[in-house]
Amino acid sequence: MSGYNIAKIKGVRIAGLSACVPSHVVENMIEGSQLFGDDIEAVVKTTGVEKRRTCPEGKITSLDLCIRAAETLRETNHFDFSQIGGIVCVTQTPDLILPNNATYAQQLLNIPQSTAAFDINLACSGYLYGLWIAGMASLSLDKPILLLDGDTHSHFVSTKDRSTAILFGDAGTATIIEPADDKTGWSFSFITDGSKRDALMIPEGGFRNRINEFSSLYREYSDGGVRRGIDMKMDGMGVFNFVVRNVPKSLEYLMDQTQKTIEDFDILALHQANLFMVRQVAKKIKFPLEKVPTSLQKFGNSSSATIPVTLASELENRVNKEKLRILASGFGAGLSVASASFELGPCVCTGVTEYEC
């Protein structure tokens, strides 16, 4: 097997993990019935998304959710935020185009001005990229790094577009990565195919296609979707095709290169795109489904945040007490895949808290 790169880091650990979701619950069987009619039950069954958490646009942002998750970790009194050496924020829904979220997080969390702080613009592969970068930064600075990862994709989804309408929820997470006497190490592999960027994109609102007087108008497109230029467009089958051709190979390559097999892992943590995709990827690499946690039934697809949300939501009790060997993969817009092998726990995990809204 060849064709991918492997990145390795040794000497860091995850010391804390926390997730935060809006308190507002969207029931897809109710909210989706107008768009899908009698098909809604089957659509919910196929996607697996029964409920989603969303926050009001313009009032609560992914940064708010991430900050709350970080504050929850600080309130455990296990972490001294004055010792944090860097803030990495993974998001595609920042408060502002300029400046970024990470620099504002420094002020909001009262982290010393000596901190390094920057954002990473990635979607569903973002958390594992964040772990990689934060791990390297922690080694380089010899200090803990605060990795914030959150998105509010519900804010640019058209309620009239069957391909995206009921999938997306909002969430923010915080992970603390610190230097440690770790001999196992983390491993990562990546796949990037920019030729397929049209499969998942927001066409307007960037600097290629600026917002114009038509950007907020709903239009019907040839794929049958009714949406605005500032809404997400998704070729679901195109993304699915990319995922099934690349994610299993990426995971198998990672195991091959690190001389590990499925038996060497306790958990397969996959991006929560939809239930069908998660199960198909697990089945393809013959990973037992009972070791593949899912949280999209409760929270929906929160883009880059689904992996830490799932770990915090479904494994909180175990992560607090025991060491879990995790195989993970995030995949989506780009199109982009990041896969990783790492250990999690025992460490501070505060599960999922709610942001009142």
Partner 1 sequence: MKDKILRIVSEILGSDVNENLTMADFEKWDSLKTLQIIMALDEEGISIPLEKIAKVKSVKDLIIFAEEGE
Tell me which residues touch partner 1 (CB under 8 A): 42-43, 45-46, 162-163, 224, 236-238, 240-241, 244-245, 248, 276, 280, 283-284
In the complex with partner 1, which residue's Cβ is closer, 283 or 321?
A: 283
For residue 184, give the DSSP letter: S
In the complex with partner 1, which residue's Cβ is closer, 96 or 237?
A: 237
- Kindly state the smallest distance separating residue 102's Cβ from partner 1, in Å: 37
- Kindly state the smallest distance separating residue 47's Cβ from partner 1, in Å: 8
Who's near 140: CB < 8 A, 6+ residues apart?
A: none
- Kindly state the smallest distance separating residue 197's Cβ from partner 1, in Å: 18
Find the length of the chain: 357
In the complex with partner 1, which residue's Cβ is closer, 162 or 318?
A: 162
- Kindly state the smallest distance separating residue 285's Cβ from partner 1, in Å: 11
- Kindly state the smallest distance separating residue 151's Cβ from partner 1, in Å: 23
- Residue 180 CA to chain centroid, in angstroms? 25
Query: Would you put residue 20 in left (φ > 0), alpha (ψ -120 to 50) or beta?
Result: beta
In the complex with partner 1, which residue's Cβ is closer, 220 or 264?
A: 220
In the complex with partner 1, which residue's Cβ is closer, 149 or 161?
A: 161
Q: In sequence order, which ranges of the chain are alpha helices (DSSP H)?
A: 28-31, 33-36, 40-47, 62-74, 101-108, 126-141, 236-257, 275-284, 296-299, 306-321
- Kindly state the smallest distance separating residue 30's Cβ from partner 1, in Å: 19
DSSP character string of 127-156: HHHHHHHHHHHHHHHTS-EEEEEEEEGGGG
**Burial of 279 (C-beta count, 10 Å sphere; 0-12/13-18/19+):** middle
Identify the CA nearest to 174 among candidates 110, 252, 90: 90
